[in-house]
Amino acid sequence: MDDEEPSREALCTYIRDYCTDLDIVAECDCVKSAYKAIQEFNPQLVFLDIEMPKGNGFDLLKLFDPPEFKVIFVTAFSEYAIKAFRFSAIDYLLKPVKVDELIEAVNKTKSEIELKHSYDLNIQTLLTHITDPVNFNSLVIPDLKGFRVINLSDILMCEADAYCTIFYLQGNTKITSSKNLKHYEEFLKEYQFIRVNRSFIVNIQHVKGYSHQGDIFMAEKLVCPLGDSYKAQFLRIFNSMK
């Protein structure tokens, strides 16, 4: 659903040429026509632009409670919206669309459909973040079973595990995300999370102390190593919070 005809035509061409197992059942240029088409065809996947005549993509999503379809956003929207997509584990494509990114997003969505992963939490979290441009206080984490929504304040630290990330949470629990550590570092660093070595990011709010031997003592008796190249930044931040 896109209000810019040339970009919509280009996307349709890419889908027909490179995602041949998808059937395009409708093209729409406004919220009203998109709503009617979704009601009529009941699609599994909707490619959705943000800016549309007489409304936007978020207005369309709010008409479905909850949406019974997956969404891939196609947008040239602001950095703020991109952050909201990332926090909500929502797939998006930036204009102009790149074929390899389109294929990756479609393949991921197909896997989620086949595994019958719940999508409600992602959409609800996205809409919350979009309507509250200040407080990003929760994060949707994709794992092998589906998705988990967790509060940022509950995260003690994150550990790289090959191409995955282990989240250590309050209550002596942990979950493994299918995303790598670098994916999370890009936006967690704005929320008092800092990298302390090549494999760990810690929530500075849960740091209890450190030793001269290079150990960082976290809440709930967790310990992680402090790398030499990260020591100065860690000490500066930790000491400023005393």
Which tens digit of pLDDT belongs to each residue from 89-134? 677 888 888 999 999 889 888 877 765 555 565 666 666 656 555 5
Give the residue range(s) of CATH 3.40.50.2300 domains in the chain. 5-131
What is the fold, at CATH topology level, of the domain defined by 152-240? OB fold (Dihydrolipoamide Acetyltransferase, E2P) (2.40.50)
Percent of the chain scoring above 70 in pLDDT: 82
pLDDT bucket at 88, cuts 50 / 70 / 90: low
Q: Domain 5-131: state its class.
A: alpha beta
Mean pLDDT, all residues of the chain: 84
Give the residue range(s) of CATH 2.40.50.1020 domains in the chain. 152-240
Q: What is the pLDDT of residues 147-182, one digit of tens each?
A: 788 889 999 999 999 889 999 999 999 999 888 899
Q: Does residue 225 have a cis bond before it (omega within 30 degrees)? A: no
